[in-house]
Amino acid sequence: MVMTTRPRNRRRRPATRPAHRAAAFTPDALSVGARHLEVGNEWVSSFAITGFPREVHPGWLAPLLTYPGRLDVALHVEPIDPATAAARLKKQLAKLESGRRHTAEHGRLYDPQVEAATEDAYDLSSRVARGEGKLFRVGLYLTIHAPSERALADEVAALRSLAASLLLDAKHTTYRSLQGWVSTLPMGLDLIGMRRTFDTAALSAAFPFTSPDLPAADPTSVAAPSGVLYGYNVGSQGLVHWDRFGDGMHNHNSVVLGRSGAGKSYLVKLELLRSLYRGIEIAVVDPEDEYARLAAAVGGTYVHLGAAGVRLNPFDLPIHTRADGRRTAPKDALVRRSLFLHTVIAVLVGNALQAAERAALDRGIAATYQSVGITTDARTWTRPSPTLRTLRDQLAIAGQAGDRAAAELAARLHPFVEGAFSSLFDGQTTTNPEGHLVVFSLRDLPDELKPIGTLLTLDTVWRRVSNPAIRRPRLVVVDEAWLLMKERSGAEFLFRMAKASRKHWAGLTVATQDTADVLSSDLGKAVVANAATQILLRQASQAIDEITQTFDLSAGERAFLLSADRGQGLLSAGTQRVAFHSIASPTEHRLVTSNPAELAGYADNTDSGGDTDAEPSFVDLGFVDEPPCAAEGDEFGSSSVDDHIELDAA
Please report whether residue 650 resides in a domain. no
Region class of 40: left (phi > 0), else alpha (psi between -120 and 50), else beta: left
| In a domain? residue 6 | no
* Statement to judge: residues 67 and 106 lie in one domain: yes
Q: How far apart are CA 160 and CA 51, in angstroms?
A: 12
Whether 118 and 254 map to the same domain: the answer is no
Q: Quickly state the pLDDT bin for 560 (edges 50, 70, 90).
A: confident
Q: What is the pLDDT of residue 638?
A: 35
**Do 627 and 498 have their domain in common?**
yes
Residue 25 to residue 7: CA distance in whole angstroms: 31
Query: Do 293 and 392 sit in the same domain of this protein?
Result: no
Q: What is the CATH number of the domain that holds 456?
A: 3.40.50.300
Out of 174, 206, 238, pick the residue that ends a domain.
206
In a domain, 231, yes or no: yes
**Do residues 413 and 478 share a domain?**
no
Query: What is the per-residue pLDDT across 165-174, written as a single tens digit (0 to 9) for each?
Result: 888 999 999 9
Give the global pTM.
Answer: 0.62
- CATH number of the domain bearing residue 346: 1.10.8.730
347 and 488 in contact (C-beta within 8 Å)? Answer: no
Residues 165 and 85 in one domain: yes
Rounded to whole angstroms, the Cα distance separating 545 from 565 reads 19
CA 608 to chain centre: 41
Which of 394, 428, 462 marks a domain boundary?
A: 428
Highest mean predicted confidence (pLDDT) among 122-131, 257-266, 450-459: 257-266
- 564 and 533 within one domain: yes
State which of 373, 396, 428 marks the end of a domain.
428
Q: Nearest CA to 189 among 197, 180, 202, 199?
A: 180
**CB neighbours of residue 331 within 10 Å:** 12
Is 647 contained in some domain? no
Domain shared by 385 and 457, yes or no: no
Has residue 132 been placed in a domain?
yes
Question: What pLDDT digit, counting tens, does each position of 370-418 carry?
Answer: 998 988 888 888 888 898 899 999 999 988 888 888 998 888 888 888 8
Contact 305, 431 (CB under 8 A): no
Number of H helices, E strands in the chain: 22, 21
Same structural domain, 424 and 470:
no
**Average pLDDT over every residue of 472-477:** 87
Do 622 and 492 share a domain, yes or no? yes
Residues 6+ apart with CB under 8 A from 36: 43, 44, 45, 149, 152, 177
| First-residue to last-residue Cα distance in the chain | 84
Residue 2 lies in a domain: no
Q: Is residue 9 part of a domain?
A: no
**39 and 152 part of one domain:** yes
Q: Which of 184, 154, 274, 190 has its CA nearest to residue 225?
A: 274
Higher-confidence residue of 468 and 337: namely 337
How far apart CA 338 and CA 552 sit, in angstroms, is 41
In angstroms, the CA 467 to CA 476 distance is 14
Number of folded domains that form the chain: 3
The per-residue DSSP string of 340-355 comes to HHHHHHHHHHTSPPPH
pLDDT at residue 635 in the model: 33
Q: Is the pLDDT of residue 142 over 90?
A: yes
Q: Which residue has the higher pLDDT, 84 or 587?
A: 587
204, 193 in Cβ contact below 8 A?
no
pLDDT, average across residues 285-305: 87
pLDDT in tens, 169-203: 999 999 999 999 999 998 889 999 998 888 887 88
Is the distance from CB of 305 to CB of 461 less than 8 angstroms?
no
Q: Residues 475-533: pLDDT tens digits?
A: 888 887 777 777 676 677 788 888 888 888 888 898 888 777 677 778 888 888 888 88
- Averaged pLDDT for residues 125-146: 83
**Could you tell me if 110 and 96 are in contact, meaning their C-beta atoms sit under 8 angstroms apart?**
no
Q: Domain for residue 277, yes or no? A: yes
The long-range contacts involving 499-503, CB below 8 angstroms and separated by at least 24 positions, are 499/530, 501/251, 501/252, 501/253, 501/465, 501/476, 502/250, 502/251, 502/252, 502/253
Q: Are 201 and 252 in a shared domain?
A: no
Q: How confident is the model at residue 141 (pLDDT cuts 50, 70, 90)?
A: very high
SS3 580: strand
Which of 130-139, 292-301, 349-358, 521-530: highest mean pLDDT? 292-301
CB 398 within 8 A of CB 360: yes
Query: For residue 278, what are the contacts with CB-CB under 8 A and spacing of at least 6?
Result: 228, 473, 628
User: Under a CB-based contact definition with an 8 Å cutoff, are residues 461 and 283 in contact?
Assistant: yes
Tell me how far CA of residue 492 lies from CA of 413, 485, 529, 611, in angstroms: 22, 8, 14, 48
- Report DSSP state, residue 66: T
The parent domain of residue 318 ranges over 313-428
State the CB neighbour count (10 A cutoff) for residue 295. Answer: 22
Given a contact cutoff of 8 angstroms between Cβ atoms, the answer to whether 409 and 361 are in contact is: yes
Q: List the beta bridge partners of residue 285.
A: 440, 478
Residue 237 reports pLDDT greater than 80: no
Whole-number Å distance between alpha carbons of 345 and 368: 14
pLDDT of residue 188: 87
Query: Residue 646 is inside which H or E element, if any?
Result: strand 644-646
